[in-house]
Structure 1
Amino acid sequence: MTIWIDADACPVPVREMVLRAGQRTATALVFVANSPLPVPRRALVKTVQVAQGFDVADNYISQHAVINDLVITQDIPLAAEIVEKGITALNPRGELYTEANIRQRLAMRNLSEELRSMGQISGGPNKFGDKEKQNFANALDRWLQKAKKTT
């Protein structure tokens, strides 16, 4: 059981929560990014720096994550790949991507991307605040508890 973190765009508070939870539960963590990350050296914590390029980190995670792992990402196409493989995906705001919701999330992402390219909308997601941190922490704890029961 490993937690894979799509770390390039992962909020720092989420990285910190994952590090604490991983240490508390002795869970392997792999932070994947295309640039160096300030992640402390610890047992069960690994960083993988992939080459620069579009979706290189996502492809690495998709190729290495397996059933019973958790992938933390806000990249919806990566989450769709992961869910399709039967692997759990969680976004940094605490929302689990599932077979029931991933198609809708992907469609909304594609629509938003198209509207942005046409200048119809601008900006990104809402601020990452205390509510989002709490939602993520709760979702991560639920997954860890469930995962530990099944191993």
Structure 2
Amino acid sequence: MSTPHIYVDGDACPVRDEVFRVALRLSLPVTVVSNGSRGVRLPDGVRRVIVEEGADAADDWIVEAIGPNDICVTADIPLAARCLAKKALSVSPRGHAWTEANIGGALAGREISRHMRETGMETRNAAFTGADRQRFLVALDAAVAAASRPAPPTFRIPPGGF
């Protein structure tokens, strides 16, 4: 199995430093993708990709580049869904591992929140905490371990059966 590559949705990502520490410890490649330089200094060996301005330009770049068992770090639920569709793993900065089992509900909840905002209701996310950071580290380690495991063997029944 190949080494997983970590892609970071770099605009407003509060856990970049944690990603860099884990990647350095495990010798994993990292690419930070954003719409602007944001003035963030990246460690040696971390690739920076700056895309054109546009609503989903960074997301589109990540989806084009990501492969099976790579990992995307993002708070963007639609981006997480697109990565899952490519058999990649996705982890939110708050430590939530997106899966095929939970992404549908997350997308629906996102639409409900959007509708609430459109009708004038206020929706807010809780402040980012140290506990969120710790949950993220645990979730990222679990994603790296899952991505690094060899795929289970597949057995095929020959035409006509056994």
Q: TM-score scaled by structure 2?
A: 0.85
CA distance in 1, matches of 2:43, 2:78: 30
- RMSD over aligned CA atoms reads 1.5
Q: Tell me, what secondary structure is at the counterpart of 2:117?
A: helix
CA distance in 2, matches of 1:25, 1:65: 19
1:106 aligns with 2:107: yes
More helix by share: 1
Quote how far apart the aligned CAs of 1:145 are: 3.0
> Which runs of 5 or more structure 2 residues have no equivalent in the other structure?
152-162
> Per-residue displacement from partner, 1:105-149 (whole Å, max 9, x unpaired)?
0000011011101112x2421110011011001111122233344
The within-5 A match list for 1:89-128 is: 89-120=90-121, 122-128=122-128
- CA 1:35 to 1:123, structure 2 compared with 1: closer, same or farther past 3 Å? same
Q: Tell me, what secondary structure is at the counterpart of 1:125?
A: coil
Q: Tell me, what secondary structure is at the counterpart of 1:53?
A: coil
Which residue, out of 33, 37, 40, partners 2:42?
40
Q: Which amino acid aligns with 2:61?
A: Y
1:10 aligns with 2:13: yes
Q: In 2, are the aligned partners of 1:39 and 1:47 still within 8 Å (CA)?
A: no
Quote how far apart the aligned CAs of 1:85 are: 1.8
CA distance in 2, matches of 1:149, 1:84: 19
CA distance in 2, matches of 1:99, 1:147: 15
CA distance in 1, matches of 2:31, 2:19: 10
Q: TM-score scaled by structure 1?
A: 0.91
Quote how far apart the aligned CAs of 1:31 are: 0.2
Identity of aligned residues (%): 35
Q: Tell me, what secondary structure is at the counterpart of 1:138?
A: helix
Q: Which residue of 1 aligns with 2:68?
A: 67
The runs of at least 4 aligned residues of structure 1 exceeding 6 Å deviation read: none
